[in-house]
C-alpha cells in the first residue's frame, strides 16, 4: 500500500505569539485603584503637589476676583456716569502722565457755564475742599471740609439721613450752613441732636442742618469723617477763588461721552482757546482699574499654576519608578495576552487618578480655607468664581494625562521576554 511521506519540518518555524485578550476598561480602573491603594502613603505624597497647586490657584484667583469686585463697588458707591474736570492739562512725555501748571484754573463761573450750556449733563457740582478745625462747645477736631452745592448729593450718591443737604447755589441767604458726616456727629454731638446747633469751622460760625448717612471708607478715604458747607463759604475758609474740581453727572453712558465733549469744548472757549484742564471719565477709570486687577489675578493664577506643574513632574517621576518596580508584572500580563494599549491604559489611568484626586482635595482645601478667612476676617474681599474652580480642577486632570503619557508608553513598550527575566 502506498505510504504517505510526511513533509519535512520548516527550517524557519514561526515565532511564538502569545494569545491576546480584551480587558474591560472597568477592570483596568479597578486594577489601577488597587495598585494605588496598596501604596497609600506614596500616593498621598505624590498627590500633595497637585493639591497645593490647585488650592493656591483657587485662593489667589478668589482673592484677585474679590479685590476686583471690591474696587468696582467702591467706584460705584461714589456715583456712576460721572466726569471729573480738574485744573491743569494731563500730559505724557515718555513716562507717567504729568499735570501741567496752569494759571487760569477752574472757577465757579466755569461750573455754572457747564451746568447751563452742556445739555447732556444733568447735574454739575463745583468742589473746593481742604482741612480745617471744627469745634462745638469744648470738643473740637481737624477734619476734611468739602465746599460744594446741592447737586453733589446726586452726583456722588451721598445722601443725608437726618435734616437736609446743602441749599441751591442761588440761595445766598443760606451760606453759613453745614452738614456733618456720621463720625463727626458722633464725636461733636454724642447722644445729641445736632440740628440747629452752631459749630465753628475755622472760627466761622455755621448752623448744622443735616447729618449724612453712614458711608464707611471708599478708595482709602473715610466718607464719614467730613463736613459739607456751601462752596462759596469753603472758598472764604481756605482763602481761595479757584476750584479743585468740577463734578458732572450724565443719565446714560452715551450722554457721558457727549457731555465730556461738550464740557471740553465749552471750557476751551472760555479759557482763551487753551486746554489748561483735564476731563476724566470715572467709568473709564473704573474700567482701567478692573483691567489691571484682572491682569493681576491671572498673573497670580499663573504663579500658583507653577506648583501644579511641579506636582505633575512628581507624578511622572513616581510613575516611572512604578514601571521599573513592576517590570515583571508587566511581562506576565503581556505573556498572558495583555495588549500594549491595555498596559498603557493601566498606567495612564493611575496617573489621572492621582492628579484628579489631588485636584479634588485642592478644591476642597482652597474653598475651605477661603471660607475660613471670610469667617475670621469678614471684610476680606474673597469671591469664588465657578470658572476658577473648574479651571483648576480641569488643569489638574490635564496634568495627570500629560505627565502620565511617557511612563505609560514606556511600560507598554517593554519586551515581555526581557521583562520576565527581571528578578
C-alpha to C-alpha distance for 222 and 218, rounded to whole angstroms: 7
pTM value? 0.62
Q: How far is CA 30 from CA 23, 231, 349, 357, in A?
A: 11, 79, 10, 15
Contact 350, 32 (CB under 8 A): yes
CB neighbour burial string for 84-114, b if at least 16 within 10 angstroms, e if fewer: bbbbbbeeeeeeeeeeeebebbbbbebbebb
Q: φ and ψ at 241, to 5 degrees?
A: -105, 10
N-term to C-term CA, the chain: 57
Spell out, as residue ranges, where the chain has pLDDT lower than 50.
1-4, 10-17, 92-102
C-alpha to C-alpha distance for 67 and 383, rounded to whole angstroms: 8
Given its phi and psi angles, is residue 191 left (phi above 0), alpha (psi -120 to 50 degrees) or beta? left
pLDDT tens-digit profile of 147-194?
A: 999 999 888 888 899 999 988 755 555 678 999 999 999 999 988 899
Cell of 264: 471740553
C-alpha to C-alpha distance for 110 and 263, rounded to whole angstroms: 10
Cell of 94: 515718555
Q: Which residues contact 1 (CB under 8 A, 6 or more apart)?
A: none
Amino acid at each position: 500500500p502506498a505510504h504517505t511521506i510526511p513533509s519535512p519540518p520548516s527550517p524557519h518555524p514561526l515565532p511564538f505569539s502569545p494569545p491576546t485578550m480584551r480587558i474591560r476598561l472597568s477592570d483596568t480602573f479597578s486594577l489601577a485603584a488597587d495598585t494605588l491603594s496598596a501604596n497609600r502613603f506614596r500616593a498621598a505624597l505624590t498627590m500633595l503637589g497637585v493639591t497645593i497647586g490647585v488650592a493656591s490657584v483657587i485662593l489667589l484667583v478668589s482673592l484677585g476676583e474679590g479685590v476686583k469686585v471690591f474696587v468696582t463697588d467702591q467706584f460705584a458707591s461714589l456715583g456712576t456716569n460721572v466726569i471729573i474736570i480738574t485744573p491743569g492739562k494731563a500730559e505724557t512725555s515718555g513716562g507717567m502722565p504729568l499735570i501741567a501748571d496752569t494759571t487760569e484754573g477752574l472757577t465757579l463761573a466755569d461750573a455754572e457755564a457747564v451746568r447751563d450750556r452742556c445739555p447732556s449733563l444733568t447735574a454739575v457740582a463745583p468742589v473746593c475742599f481742604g482741612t480745617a478745625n471744627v469745634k462745638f462747645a469744648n470738643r473740637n477736631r481737624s477734619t476734611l471740609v468739602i465746599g460744594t452745592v446741592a447737586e453733589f448729593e446726586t452726583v456722588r450718591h451721598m445722601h443725608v439721613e437726618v435734616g437736609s443737604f446743602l441749599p441751591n447755589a442761588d440761595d445766598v441767604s443760606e451760606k453759613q450752613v453745614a452738614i456733618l458726616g456720621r463720625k463727626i456727629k458722633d464725636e461733636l454731638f454724642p447722644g445729641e441732636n445736632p440740628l440747629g446747633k452752631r459749630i465753628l469751622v475755622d472760627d466761622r460760625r455755621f448752623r448744622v442742618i443735616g447729618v449724612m448717612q453712614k458711608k464707611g471708607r471708599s478708595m482709602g478715604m473715610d466718607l464719614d469723617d467730613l463736613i459739607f458747607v456751601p462752596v462759596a463759604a469753603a472758598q472764604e475758609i481756605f482763602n481761595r477763588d479757584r476750584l479743585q474740581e468740577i463734578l458732572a453727572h450724565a443719565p446714560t453712558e452715551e450722554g457721558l461721552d457727549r457731555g465730556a465733549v461738550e464740557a471740553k469744548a465749552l471750557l476751551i472757549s472760555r479759557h482763551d482757546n487753551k486746554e489748561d484742564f483735564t476731563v476724566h471719565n470715572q467709568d473709564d477709570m473704573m474700567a482701567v482699574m478692573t483691567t489691571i486687577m484682572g491682569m493681576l489675578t491671572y498673573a497670580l493664577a499663573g504663579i500658583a499654576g507653577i506648583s501644579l506643574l511641579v506636582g505633575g513632574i512628581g507624578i511622572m517621576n513616581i510613575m516611572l519608578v512604578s514601571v521599573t518596580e513592576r517590570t515583571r508584572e508587566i511581562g506576565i500580563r503581556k505573556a498572558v495576552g495583555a495588549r500594549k494599549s491595555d498596559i498603557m491604559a493601566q498606567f495612564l489611568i493611575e496617573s489621572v487618578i492621582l492628579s484628579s484626586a489631588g485636584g479634588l482635595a485642592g478644591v476642597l482645601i482652597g474653598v475651605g480655607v477661603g471660607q475660613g478667612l471670610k469667617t475670621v476676617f469678614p471684610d476680606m474681599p474673597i469671591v469664588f468664581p465657578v470658572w476658577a474652580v473648574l479651571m483648576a480642577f480641569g488643569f489638574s486632570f490635564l496634568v495627570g494625562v500629560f505627565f502620565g503619557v511617557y511612563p505609560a508608553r514606556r511600560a507598554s513598550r517593554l519586551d515581555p521576554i526581557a521583562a520576565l527575566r527581571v528578578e
